[in-house]
Chain A
Amino acid sequence: MAYEFDFSLINPANMKVLGEGMVVSLEITLTGVLVGIVWGSILAMMRLSSVRPLSWFAEAYVTVCRSIPLVMVLLWFFLIVPQLLQKTFNLSAATDLRMTSSLIAFSLFEAAYCSEIIRAGIQGVSRGQLFAAQALGMHYGQVMHLVILPQAFRNMLPLLLMQGIILFQDTSLVYVSALADFFGRAYDIGERDGRTVDMLLFAGLVYFVICFFASRVVKRLHKKAFI
């Protein structure tokens, strides 16, 4: 039995709906990566700092984020964030905060993973560099800014981008809140037209093409940038 694919599903109207969904997916990914890198750097520095409570906090944060399934994290945020925001800003209960919730959830979750990459990047720079810079009379800020971080960043950039690609795949999990990202919209169109099979395969193909080529680019970059 050969399955007949319905190529008429790939029409302008559907593409517009899917495109809007893709914008949602990309928005979440970009926000997650940017906030994740900023908050992740802070966490990494806390983790490496000699102030004990700071490094404990960072370690606990990362451990907790890594031991809870992302699905549960998202469910938690869809539960808590709307209630908090509605109370703080006196919003009506009907305000749709699913997008805000998922942005916050992915950013905070992503930061845990980024901080581990950044920490490894900083620790991966050889100790001799630190000593050499200090021997040249640089103070801590200069050592970090001029010697350690530029090297660390070159080494970890590809890993951070790879993490971004993984995050892009994970954004499909906003399905649990029925937020209409690319996957949600594709599935909805499939349900509406009774063509779930076609639309699911199409969605899989789109994700595959994007992630495959993106990771190719990142691998190239890795070869170029790696010291």
Chain B
Amino acid sequence: MPYLFHWGVFLEQASSSETYLDWIVSGLKVTIAVGLSSWIIALLIGSVLGVMRTSQNKWASGFAGAYVELFRNIPLLVQLFIWYFVVPELLPGGDAFKKMSPVTQQFLAGVICLGTFTAARICEQVRSGIASLSRGQRNASLALGLTSSQSYRYVILPMAFRIIVPPLTTEFVNVFQNSAVASTIGLLDLAGQGRQLVDYTARPYESFIAVTLLYCLLNVAVMMLMRWIERRVRVPGFIGSK
């Protein structure tokens, strides 16, 4: 017996005030919110770590290296569970965390986990971006009398960030993909809503197809945004530029 699709299911009432479509829309919003917030955190921490990794100071580069190893060698799911179940037990502020509403707790744990996880990967990208600059750039800026931090601020980082836009695109896309893992601690993001829809409507194919397509669309949107940025900031004279 072939499967009969019933797409009208999304317009049915899930509760007195919502349709199942509203669930999907709210899941999409949560996924976007988690993705963007973690991306900002990851960019901030990752850039700082990337600079530390290339610094002459042994302690700074050692710390950044250890950070990357730690966050790279533990599965994302395990990290998420540690942020959600373990950290609040061990840290002094944990009680305040446990008093928040469950949704806030899941959101915070998801964002912190994804942010710190992605930061390790961005650190490596920033580091390789800085390493790919010719040594002459740093030497020239030092010769002009800039301090080390000034040469990072005015010469090295502006170039490095423009060069690493393409690999950052991959990481940005990955953030949204990885955010689906947050559904395992009960966060009702796109994947979470998808699973809930299956339970409530008994329409697995329609639910999963809708959710999967939305993830693909989100990917396309992110790629287009990053392509646009890439075109605007491309460094003339480097591979890939016109």
Which of A69, A70, A172 gathers the greatest number of chain B CB atoms within 10 Å?
A: A69
Cβ–Cβ < 8 Å partners of A3 in chain B: 89-90
Q: A183-B78, A187-B81, A204-B78 are in contact. Are A197 and B86 (CB under 8 A)?
A: yes
Cβ–Cβ < 8 Å partners of B92 in chain A: 1
Complex contact A196–B184 (CB within 8 A): no
Cβ–Cβ < 8 Å partners of B191 in chain A: 69, 71-72, 75
Q: A201-B82, A204-B82 are in contact. Are A72 and B74 (CB under 8 A)?
A: no
Q: List 27 A-B contacts (CB under 8 A).
A: A1-B92, A64-B216, A67-B177, A67-B219, A69-B180, A69-B181, A71-B191, A72-B180, A75-B191, A75-B208, A79-B198, A79-B205, A169-B74, A172-B75, A176-B183, A197-B85, A197-B86, A197-B90, A200-B86, A201-B82, A204-B78, A207-B75, A207-B78, A208-B70, A211-B74, A215-B72, A215-B73
Cβ–Cβ < 8 Å partners of B205 in chain A: 79
A96 within 8 A of partner (CB): no
B212 within 8 A of partner (CB): yes
Q: Chain A interface secondary structure, helix, strand, loop or mixed?
A: helix
Chain B residue, CB-CB nearest to A76? B208
Complex contact A173–B77 (CB within 8 A): yes
B222, chain A: closest CB distance, angstroms: 10
B68, chain A: closest CB distance, angstroms: 11
Cβ–Cβ < 8 Å partners of B76 in chain A: 169
Cβ–Cβ < 8 Å partners of B74 in chain A: 169, 204, 207-208, 211
Complex contact A69–B177 (CB within 8 A): yes
Q: Which residues of B are in contact with A by a Cβ distance under 8 Å?
A: 69-70, 72-79, 81-82, 85-86, 89-90, 92, 173, 176-181, 183-184, 191, 194-195, 198, 204-205, 208, 211-212, 215-216, 219-220
Selected from A72, A173, A196, A212, the residue in CB contact (under 8 A) with B73 is A212
A196, chain B: closest CB distance, angstroms: 5
0/1 per residue, A66-107, Cβ < 8 Å to B? 011111100110010000000000000000000000000000
Chain B residue, CB-CB nearest to A190? B85
Cβ–Cβ < 8 Å partners of B173 in chain A: 67
Cβ–Cβ < 8 Å partners of A207 in chain B: 73-75, 78
Chain A residue, CB-CB nearest to B204? A79
Complex contact A69–B73 (CB within 8 A): no
Cβ–Cβ < 8 Å partners of A175 in chain B: 77, 184
A203 within 8 A of partner (CB): yes
A66, chain B: closest CB distance, angstroms: 8
Q: Chain B interface secondary structure, helix, strand, loop or mixed?
A: helix
Chain A residue, CB-CB nearest to B205? A79
Cβ–Cβ < 8 Å partners of B212 in chain A: 68, 72, 76
Complex contact A79–B208 (CB within 8 A): yes
Complex contact B215–A67 (CB within 8 A): yes
CA gap between A211 and B71 in the complex, in Å: 11
A185, chain B: closest CB distance, angstroms: 13
Chain B residue, CB-CB nearest to A203? B78
CB within 8 Å of B: which A153-178 residues:
169-170, 172-173, 175-176
CA gap between A208 and B139 in the complex, in Å: 39
Chain B residue, CB-CB nearest to A186? B78
Cβ–Cβ < 8 Å partners of B194 in chain A: 72, 75
A186, chain B: closest CB distance, angstroms: 9
Complex contact A71–B219 (CB within 8 A): no
Selected from A70, A75, A204, the residue in CB contact (under 8 A) with B79 is A204
Cβ–Cβ < 8 Å partners of B69 in chain A: 212
0/1 per residue, A1-14, Cβ < 8 Å to B? 10100000000000
CA gap between A157 and B73 in the complex, in Å: 20
Cβ–Cβ < 8 Å partners of A203 in chain B: 78
- Which 6 residue pairs across A and B have the least CB separation, nearest first? A69-B180, A211-B73, A169-B75, A71-B180, A69-B177, A172-B75
Cβ–Cβ < 8 Å partners of A68 in chain B: 177, 212, 215-216
Cβ–Cβ < 8 Å partners of B179 in chain A: 69
Cβ–Cβ < 8 Å partners of B204 in chain A: 79
In the complex, besides A72-B212, A204-B78, 19 extra interface pairs with C-beta distance below 8 angstroms are A1-B92, A3-B89, A67-B173, A67-B215, A68-B215, A69-B176, A69-B178, A69-B181, A72-B211, A169-B75, A172-B75, A172-B77, A173-B77, A200-B82, A204-B79, A208-B70, A212-B73, A215-B72, A215-B73
